[in-house]
Amino acid sequence: SQQGEEDPQALSIQEGENATMNCSYKTSINNLQWYRQNSGRGLVHLILIRSNEREKHSGRLRVTLDTSKKSSSLLITASRAADTASYFCATVPTGTYKYIFGTGTRLKVLA
Amino acid sequence: EAGVTQFPSHSVIEKGQTVTLRCDPISGHDNLYWYRRVMGKEIKFLLHFVKESKQDESGMPNNRFLAERTGGTYSTLKVQPAELEDSGVYFCASSQVDYGYTFGSGTRLTVV
């Protein structure tokens, strides 16, 4: 089964609103990362949160990690049309090296 | 330092043809990984090189895919013959340690 699962699968909001995406995973991890993929293009690394961290901020991004619930959330504040993309969480299960990506959330920000 | 470079950035080929994707990792990175995202689905692991050796190729979908890493430097991923379901974005990443990837910008493959 999928290690990382995001929800919602798709999200459509108005420019200026906040967008929240959630990610759940199944095993213990070293860290969790969030990536963005613009339509058919490369992966852009957004933020990394380590397993001993609970919250991290970077610009308009806020990531939380709850290892007891094996879940993470990504909040994008004051969204812009340019934020339209697919967002993925990626985990590295403890003792491994493979990134396990979630199914992704397709975010559409309407101008 | 230069990042992970992939080319071509986009390739359109006909079903049955052969395509070779190339990845140049960050200099000095022993670990090189291939991932792909097909048909808008999740991003999946294909294989992992440590230097020139295939450490893990459990994600390779079938024998139409062949990956090589010449002298532990750049890597190629050949698809022969290409099928429609191979369309997607192929990502390469490299790392010095077992985590902390740097991804390339991907190659978008379209098979028509």
pLDDT in tens, chain B (112 residues): 578 999 999 999 999 999 999 999 999 999 999 999 987 788 999 999 999 999 999 999 999 999 999 888 999 999 999 999 999 999 999 988 755 788 899 999 999 9
Task: Say whether B37 and A37 touch across the interface (CB within 8 A).
Answer: yes
pLDDT of residue A44: 87
Interface of B with A in 78-107 (CB under 8 A): 89, 91, 93, 98-99, 101-106
Nearest to A104 among B31, B42, B93 (CB): B42
- C-beta of residue B23 within 8 angstroms of C-beta of residue A83: no
B63 CB neighbour count, 10 Å cutoff: 7
pLDDT of residue B88: 93
The count of CB pairs under 8 A between chains A and B is 55
pLDDT of residue A7: 80
Summarised one tens digit per residue, pLDDT across range A41-55 is 778 889 999 999 999
DSSP B47: E
Distance set, CA A44 to CA A11, A85, A87, B85, B107 (Å): 19, 11, 9, 24, 14
Average the pLDDT over A13-29 and give the result.
94
Confidence of residue A2 (pLDDT cuts 50, 70, 90): very low
User: Does residue A96 surpass a pLDDT of 90?
Assistant: no
Angle at B88 between CA A110 and CA A88, to 5 degrees: 50
User: Does residue A61 surpass a pLDDT of 90?
Assistant: yes
Average the pLDDT over A63-86 and give the result.
96
Nearest to A42 among B33, B48, B104 (CB): B104
pLDDT of residue A3: 54
Nearest to B48 among A41, A97, A104 (CB): A97
Highest averaged pLDDT of the listed ranges A2-6, A10-14, A26-30, A41-45: A10-14
% of chain A beyond a pLDDT of 90? 67
**What type of residue sits at position A100?**
I
